[in-house]
Amino acid sequence: MELSEWTLALAAAASVCCCLYLWVRFRRSARGLGRNLCAKIMARTEKPLFRIAYTLYTQTRLGYMYYKRQMRKARQNYPAGHSSACPAEFNGIKIIPIPVLSDNYSYLIVDTTSSVAVVVDPADPQLVQAVLEDQGAMLEAILCTHKHWDHSGGNKGLKRLHSACPVYGSAVDNIPGLTHPLSDKDSVKVGRMHFKALFTPGHTVGHMIYLLDGQAVGAPSSLFSGDLVFLSGCGRMFEGSPTTMLSSLDTVASLNDGTLLWPGHEYAEDNLLFAAEVEPRNSTRENKYQWVLQQRSQKLSTCPSTVGEEKQYNPFLRSQSAELHVALGIQPSQDEDWTQFRARVLEELRKRKDLFNRRS
């Protein structure tokens, strides 16, 4: 090694030592800076740094390792779950929200007349298995909304415990452990439970939501919406255009108003705060926000809502609203196609939400 190479090596070593010293010396503030930096990167989905991070998360083992770490931390930090959720039962069909990770929900749906069950997005297979055993039910199907690890990471682990159990999901979304690829409007039947898969790309290229037909059992229908729609929110457009996402959101809006909405995350409080920024005079939103504050003060779940409720206060389902257009300062340009204009409204909403900082 020549002298210049030694010099470079020493300089590199000194830089590493300096960084380590600074990290140890200021590790608390460094963590805060790191979190802030990550938040800013994640908020800018069009930026190269984000695209690199997203690719590593979705297409390499690093993403799976990160998910496993998050699961371990959640088990330590929330031994009883991040929220307390009550099951809902309609004529022998029981829907059990399972709080997993730091803010996710898995759902176990049980036909109590035959003790067969379906699970949606089993992010933590250990917790799902515990609920299954408590219910004394046999798992007959795993329904996965999309490939992100916080929804699909438990597929293989749960299937190892139930080897004959099929894993359903989009044929185009690279679902871990997938055995039964689905297309738009395909059906899955288990016991008296009839699910319809609806293709709703935008968050991911193959995102799907699952509609449980309530009419078959004399009950409200239930929509398991993954990361497409939350209470007063929607998922980020990681792998789709605003027009694509708008079409997927319109699929939800077209459902019966009484359809129960079971989202993939507990984001209600933050989402309603953002909704107040863009529609401060929406009294329905304010009433819902006060209820959510009461629920969250006791760590109680805020799901389900209904499609009808969401159409009143969820800005992402209100891209056709003249009041929202005024609040955003956006109006259609001359000869602009109505769908294109609504997609532009959705894009503006999503940009604002991505950069939204919750007030303390």
Give the pLDDT confidence score for residue 7 in this predicted structure.
32
> How many Cα atoms within 13 Å fall on the side-chain side of residue 219?
22
The backbone torsions φ and ψ at residue 27, rounded to the nearest 5 degrees and listed phi first, read -65, -35
Give the pLDDT confidence score for residue 51 in this predicted structure.
85
**pLDDT tens for each residue of the chain, 360 residues long:** 333 333 333 333 334 344 434 444 444 444 444 444 444 444 455 568 888 899 999 989 999 999 999 999 999 999 999 999 999 999 999 999 999 999 999 999 999 999 999 999 999 999 999 999 999 999 999 999 999 999 999 999 999 999 999 999 999 999 999 999 999 999 999 999 999 999 999 999 999 999 999 998 999 999 999 999 999 999 999 999 999 999 999 999 999 999 999 999 999 999 999 999 999 999 999 999 999 999 999 999 999 999 999 999 999 999 999 999 999 999 999 899 999 999 999 999 999 999 885 443
In this structure, whether the domain defined by 88-354 belongs to CATH 3.60.15.10 is answered with yes
Three-class SS of the chain: CCHHHHHHHHHHHHHHHHHHHHHHHCHHHHHHHHHHHHHHHHHCCCCHHHHHHHHHHHHCHHHHHHHHHHHHHHHHHCCCCCCECCCEEECCEEEEEEEECCCEEEEEEEECCCCEEEEECCCCHHHHHHHHHHHCCEEEEEECCCCCHHHHCCHHHHHHHCCCCCEEEECCCCCCCCCEEECCCCEEEECCEEEEEEECCCCCCCCEEEEECCHHHCCCCEEECCCCEECCEECCCCCCCHHHHHHHHHHHHCCCCCCEEECCECCHHHHHHHHHHHCCCCHHHHHHHHHHHHHHHCCECCCCEEHHHHHHHCHHHCCCCHHHHHHHCCCCCCCCCHHHHHHHHHHHHHHHHHCCCCCC
Preceding peptide of 304 cis, ω within 30°: yes
CA angle 26, 67, 271 (to 5 degrees): 80
| 318/205 Cα distance (integer angstroms) | 23
Annotated active-site positions, please? 146, 148, 150-151, 203, 227, 265
